Amino acid sequence: MAGFLAQARLIVAAFALALLVISAAPASAQRNPDGSVNPTAQSVKEQQLLNALGTGGSISGRVSIPDQKSGNLIHPAGRDWRQFHEVTLRWIGAIAILGMLILLVAFYLIRGQVKLESGPSGRRIVRFNAFERFVHWMTATCFIILALSGLNITFGKPVLMPLIGEGAFAAWSQWAKYAHNYLSFPFTIGVFMIFLMWLAWNIPNRVDVEWLKEGGGIVGHKHPPADRFNAGQKMVYWIVVLGGTAVAVSGYVLMFPFYGTSIAGMQVAEIVHGVVAALFVAAMLGHIYIGTIGMEGAFEGMWDGTVDVNWAREHHRLWLEKEMAEGHISAPPPKGKMQPAE
Ligand code: HEM
């Protein structure tokens, strides 16, 4: 009898061991040979699990607070978004912005500054009034701070934090975020004012086609006629108006989360905001280049509001002719260089 009991105990133990081995098998199938977890193993294929649960791509529980989104436990689409946010957007931004900087340096080295070829006449004409300059510089100042604080959101952690340390990065990022939120308001107002005050001069027409065919006098050394704004400036204007509207709308969706948007809507807003902002910054680098070192005599028009008459004749002949016809400049401007007073 004792022998039979001992034998029965052995059989039960062997059976239990076999069960243990069988139940442990799936767990070992989830592991790579080196012991690390293999997330794509058959037994943990997430999509299969989600399909089996019939939950439509995510797993949610029940919560007793009004915000039902907080019951969302697993949302795989969020990982695609994270991949975009942490990898794709950084590539788009780096290629657009560094690419533009490289192009501008190459252009400056090859073409050099667009010179005032007929020299200064000594006569000046009003190009932008005080209100126009105020709106321009208010928008530009906001834009530069928005651009730097926005780039910090995308590139700060991998680029700046290792350089200045976690504490300093946290403090700077907090202030940068405040600036990014609050300066969005004057920036939006500025873009709207730019739209209204310069719309009349930015409707594309046949003069622009000719100007573009001639390389705008920037690629070559010709001076194709242009009105108050040439085709290149009209492009800048529409980039500012349309790009500014896109970043503003998507930005306010992000600033006031879930007011009429779902998680998917928020993700779309973030993608639009990030991509448009990166391209916008790259485009404005081109604008800043031509408004400063790229073209002799351009900056003054936006700084003190006046330009040399010879500059106006070389770059905006049709506009100068209209200004003269309206008597905004008293006498015909001298053709050549400035003559010494007698
Ligand atoms: C340091 C930054 C900037 C500089 C030095 C600068 C310089 C200038 C200058 C000199 C002009 C007049 C060009 C002319 O007389 O024909 C101008 C025009 C203009 N600026 Fe800026 N700007 C800057 C930033 C910005 C920013 C950030 C925006 C908008 C977000 C902007 C929008 C415009 C627009 C729409 C025009 C009229 C079209 C054009 O001339 O291209 N600017 N800027």
pLDDT, one tens digit per residue, over 158-174 is 999 999 999 999 999 99
DSSP string across 232-293: HHHHHHHIIIIIHHHHHHHHHHHHSTTSS--HHHHHHHHHHHHHHHHHHHHHHHHHHHHHTT
pLDDT, one tens digit per residue, over 205-246 is 999 999 999 988 777 778 899 999 999 999 999 999 999 999
CB 124 near ligand 1, within 6 Å? no
Q: How far is CA 156 from CA 8, 90, 160, 325, in A?
A: 68, 11, 5, 54
Centre of ligand 1 from the C-alpha of residue 158, in Å: 31
CB 169 near ligand 1, within 6 Å? no
3-state DSSP percent of the chain in helix, strand and coil, to 5:
70, 5, 25
Centre of ligand 1 from the C-alpha of residue 291, in Å: 6
CB 201 within 8 A of CB 227: yes
Centre of ligand 1 from the C-alpha of residue 136, in Å: 7
Q: Would you give per-residue pLDDT tens digits along the chain (342 residues)?
A: 556 666 766 666 666 655 554 444 444 445 677 777 666 665 556 666 766 666 566 777 889 998 887 888 777 778 888 999 999 999 999 999 999 999 999 999 999 999 999 999 999 999 999 999 999 999 999 999 999 999 999 999 999 999 999 999 999 999 999 999 999 999 999 999 999 999 999 999 999 999 999 988 777 778 899 999 999 999 999 999 999 999 999 999 999 998 989 888 999 999 999 999 999 999 999 999 999 999 999 999 999 999 999 999 999 999 999 999 988 875 554 554 444 444
Q: Whose structure tokens read 């948007």?
A: 261
Measured distance CA(19)–CA(39) in Å, rounded:
25
Centre of ligand 1 from the C-alpha of residue 43, in Å: 59
CB 299 near ligand 1, within 6 Å? yes
Closest CA to ligand 1's atom 40: 233
Q: Whose structure tokens read 């105990």?
A: 9
pLDDT of residue 59: 76
Instruction: State the Cα torsion 158-159-163-167 to the nearest 10°.
Output: -50
pLDDT of residue 333: 47
